[in-house]
Amino acid sequence: MSQPSSAAQVADEVRRIISPADLEAYRRELLTKNDPNAPKVIVCCGTGCQASGSLDVIDAMKKAVAEAGWEGKVVPRVKRTGCHGFCSRGPLVVIEPMDLFYQQVSVDDVEEIVKTTLIGGEPIKRLLYKPPDSKEPVQRVAEIPFYSKQSRIVLKNIGKIDPFNIEDALTHGAYQALAKCLSSMGPRQVIDEVMNSKLRGRGGAGFPTGLKWDSCARVEGTRYVICNADEGDPGAFMDRSLLEGDPHSVLEGMAISAFAVGSNRGYIYCRAEYPLAVRTLTAAIKQAEAMGLLGDNIMGTDFSFKLTVSTGAGAFVCGESSALMSSLEGKVGRPRPKYIRSVEKGFRDSPSNLNNVETFANIPDIIFKGADWFKSYGTERSAGTKVFALTGNVHNVGLVEVPMGSSLREIVYGIGGGIPNKRELKAVQTGGPSGGCIPIPAKFLDINVGFGKLAEVGSMMGSGGMIVMDEDTCMVEVSRYFINFLVEESCGQCSPCREGLTRMLEILTRITQGEGREGDIQLLQEIGTFTNSFSLCGLGTSAANPVLSTIRWFPEEYEAHIREKKCPSGVCKKLFHYEIQAETCTGCGLCRRKCPVQAISGEKKKAHSIDQSLCIKCMECYKNCKFKAIKVL
């Protein structure tokens, strides 16, 4: 793996910032040194693109650029960045200032990019992105609907700055908001600004951030500021992208919070499964401390703030605030049975302000540009934007940031590019394992995504996971899947959560295996309602949401499983079989060739048929038939 170039930069002579005004002076100095319009080759090195080989691409690119003959032209800078969000198209390369977007770039393409594009100034057609519904490729980033339909304010620097290079972050405005606090605002004013912005926590519960800071500031004691970077929802990677792509925005948000509540000690609780995030954070803290932007006497003032990264042991429940604090103290990560808020008695029984990564990342701009600017995004009740990790049966899988209150239609079709393979949309799941499945068709496609609206239909905002499900998704199986996840992730200490989940899993398993009984739906509702109201922590009190919401919106699917012993979506293997419709089958023979167990037979151009005794229900024929001749029965 290539090492971040900045390790050397820390060792170099470090410029210490001696006052808030000095930061601005230095930023101007950097801007004249690094012309923002100079040619650049930006290679995404987020975790997704790294997995598809971007580190090799960047190494090859550096080498090729160094070896090419530039004949008086400005030599472009090759730069690594965090995740651009469009992971399904990685490795991604952006060429500036042309704003050219190349996708699925491999080492073999590098030479051609240097020759044709960087030297010759011509785009390479085959590396351009083609939206699913058009034949013509798109050249510029700004023209790609996936990007152009987003409002990137939290993610604004991601994909633009080198996360291992603090100078790059400074040219993009890092620490300006902290300088503003230190030079012209008091703690009270900062809290008021955050309160006024109506920012609500992005970690799931949506608690007003300003109010939390205010309560924390009012409690006497050694105060702590803690960042929740545990992000345990399966499929979610909003926080990881922020930490890996723009760590200074999170660090600056935490420093501002510390200034506001009166703390000089902070921790980032980051899950151990995010090694790149831990490395970026550690490097960023080191660089910021060396420059006097964190640590003792920040920017020459008497405000000090020391930050440490602590890694979690990878339990979903450790994201719960009291379990997180126990774990941070070195104890078992189990939620605490105390009716006391952590702003009063949290980490080490001291007043502690815990916020989510994305919440902190929103802070610098709220302070720098003001609460009114922030409120110009989103709705009356849910201000600002939200980052979602869009996954599932949708064309464009990746990170999307939209104003609060955007419709699901806009997210799934506008940005996500719709459902692949000509399938119909069935449901969208938000809120992680404890969210609900919002059933889409006609009914809720135009629902505005915000804290209140999602709760109304039985789901929740959660931290921003969004799974799109098409018509081939069985809702009973979806609910079984999530309950199975929680059965393992519950801490197990309190009986409603532990026993309720055990029983719900048992009932759902038997329903999906064709052994459902009359009365099972009512029993699931009884247990679910009980678990959601008698459990100790937030995991238990939302654990039954997937069950309750799928029963609420898809009762007919449960009934089909229980009464007719049928899985209408063709997922639960014991409850369906495939049949080839003789009227529609053209006898093309594709299914016969695809079937791994030779269960399909038929003559050319004549209707084929499936031998049910051989079929293993692997879906190959169903997925591949171009004429939709195979039916689930």
Partner 1 sequence: MKIIMDGNEVAATSGQTILEVARANGVRIPTLCHNDALEPAAMCRLCTVEVDEGRGPRLVTACNYPLRRDAQVFTNSERVRAGRKLIIEMLYTRCRGSELLEELGREYGADFTRFAPNDKQCIMCGLCARVCERVGGKTLTLSGRGVEITVATAFDRASEFCIACGACARICPVQTIKMIDEDGERRILVQGREASRVKLIECVSCGKRFGPVLDLKEINERAGDSKVPPPNQGVCPECSRRNLAARMAERHFEQFETGEEG
Report d(CA 576, CA 153) in Å as an integer: 47
Question: Shortest gap between Cβ of 490 and ligand SF4 (angstroms)?
Answer: 4
What are phi and psi for residue 429, nearest 5 degrees? Answer: -105, 125
Amino acid at 127: L
Min separation Cβ 432 and partner 1, Å: 17
Question: Residue 205 binds which entry of partner 1, ligand FMN, ligand SF4, none, with Cβ cut-offs from 5 to 8 Å by kind?
Answer: ligand FMN
Q: Per-residue x/- marks for ligand FMN, 150-189, CB under 6 A? A: ----------------------------------------
Which C-beta is closer to ligand SF4: that of 502 or that of 586? 502
**Is 147 or 485 the residue whose CB approaches ligand FMN more closely?**
485
- DSSP-derived 3-state class of residue 157: coil
Chain residue whose CB lies nearest ligand SF4: 540
Q: Which of 539, 517, 543, 515 is nearest to 529 (CA)?
A: 543
Binding at 534: pick from ligand SF4, ligand FMN, partner 1, none (beta carbon under 5-8 Å per type): partner 1
The yes or no reply on residue 429 touching ligand FMN (CB under 6 A) is no
Q: Which is nearer to ligand FMN, 54 or 532 (CB)?
A: 532
Which of 229-256 are b and which e, b meaning 16 or more Cβ less than 10 Å from the residue's Cβ? Answer: bbbbbeebbbbbbbbbbbbbbbbbbbbb
Of 221 and 492, CB closest to ligand SF4:
492
> Whole-number minimum distance, CB 349 to ligand SF4, in Å?
19
**Other residues' Cβ atoms within 10 Å of the Cβ of residue 579:** 14
Please report how close the Cβ of residue 530 comes to ligand FMN at its closest, in angstroms. 18
The verdict on 203 binding ligand FMN (CB under 6 A) reads yes
Distances (CA, A) of 25 to 162, 294, 628: 21, 18, 65
Dihedral of alpha carbons 84, 85, 90, 95, sign: negative
Residue 339 binds which entry of partner 1, ligand SF4, ligand FMN, none, CB below 5-8 Å type-dependent? partner 1
Interaction of residue 538 with ligand FMN, rule CB under 6 A: yes
- Tell me the closest approach of the beta carbon of residue 455 to ligand SF4, in angstroms: 19
By beta-carbon proximity to partner 1, the closer residue of 331 and 623 is 331
Near ligand FMN by CB under 6 A: residue from 14, 98, 124, 205: 205
**Vertex 426 angle, CA 420 and 431, to 5°:** 100
Least Å from the CB of residue 353 to partner 1 = 23
Name the token pair of 451.
């804290």
Closest CA to 224 of 321, 107, 338: 321
Q: Measured between alpha carbons, how far is residue 172 from residues 156, 160, 252, 361, 566 in Å?
A: 10, 9, 13, 14, 57
Q: Which of 51/340 has CB closer to ligand SF4?
A: 340
Site residues for ligand SF4 per CB under 6 A = 317, 335, 490-494, 497-498, 535-537, 539-540
204 binds ligand FMN (CB under 6 A): yes
Query: Is 537 a binder of ligand FMN (CB under 6 A)?
Result: yes
Least distance between ligand FMN and beta carbon 387 (Å): 12
Query: Does 207 help bind ligand FMN (rule: CB under 6 A)?
Result: yes
CB of 88 to partner 1, least distance (A): 32
| Alpha carbons 458 and 444: distance in angstroms, whole number | 12
Q: Which of residues 463-482 bind ligand FMN (CB under 6 A)?
A: 463
| Contact between residue 591 and residue 625 where contact means Cβ atoms under 8 Å apart | yes
Residue ranges of E strands in 282-431: 306-312, 352-356, 385-392, 398-403, 425-430
Q: Which does 359 bind (CB under 5 to 8 A by kind): ligand SF4, partner 1, ligand FMN, none?
A: ligand FMN
631, 579 contact by CB (below 8 A): yes
**Is residue 356 close enough to count as binding ligand FMN by CB under 6 A?**
yes
Q: Strands across the sheet with 40-44, in order?
A: 77-81, 40-44, 93-96, 100-102
Angle among Cα 106, 107, 110 to the nearest 5 degrees reads: 100
Determine if residue 607 is left, alpha or beta; phi over 0 gives left, psi from -120 to 50 gives alpha, anything else beta: beta
Of these partners, partner 1, ligand SF4, ligand FMN, none, which one is at the site of residue 354 (CB under 5 to 8 Å by kind)?
A: ligand FMN
621, interface contact from partner 1, ligand SF4, ligand FMN, none, CB < 5-8 Å by kind: none
As a whole number of angstroms, the distance between CA 617 and CA 294 comes to 58
Nearer to ligand FMN, 43 or 254 (CB): 254
Which of the choices ligand SF4, ligand FMN, partner 1, none does residue 228 contact, using the CB cut-off of 5 to 8 A by kind? Answer: ligand FMN
Asked if 531 is part of the footprint of ligand FMN (rule: CB under 6 A), the reply reads no
How close are the terminal C-alpha atoms of the chain, in Å? 51
Compare residues 316 and 444 and give the one whose CB is closer to ligand FMN: 316
| Residue 228 sits in the site that holds ligand FMN (CB under 6 A) | yes
CB 302, min distance to partner 1, A: 37
Options 202, 334, 336, 386; binder of ligand FMN; rule CB under 6 A: 202
Closest CA to 224 of 196, 256, 263: 263
- Residues making contact with partner 1 (CB under 8 A): 315, 317, 332, 334, 337-339, 487-496, 498-503, 506, 523, 526-527, 530, 533-536
Minimum CB separation of residue 243 from ligand FMN in Å reads 12
- The b-or-e profile of 57-66 (16+ CB within 10 A means b, else e) is bbbbbbebbe
Q: Given its phi and psi angles, is residue 523 left (phi above 0), alpha (psi -120 to 50 degrees) or beta?
A: alpha
Binding residues for ligand FMN restricted to 301-320, rule: CB under 6 A = 316-317, 319-320
- Backbone φ/ψ region at 598: left (φ over 0), alpha (ψ -120 to 50), beta: left
Q: Angle, to 10 degrees, between the axis of helix 357-369 and the axis of helix 187-197?
A: 110
As measured in angstroms, the least distance from the Cβ of 100 to partner 1 is: 49
**The binder of ligand FMN chosen from 193, 214, 231, 246 (CB under 6 A):** 231
Residues that bind ligand FMN (CB under 6 A): 201-205, 207, 228, 230-232, 316-317, 319-321, 354-356, 359, 463, 537-539
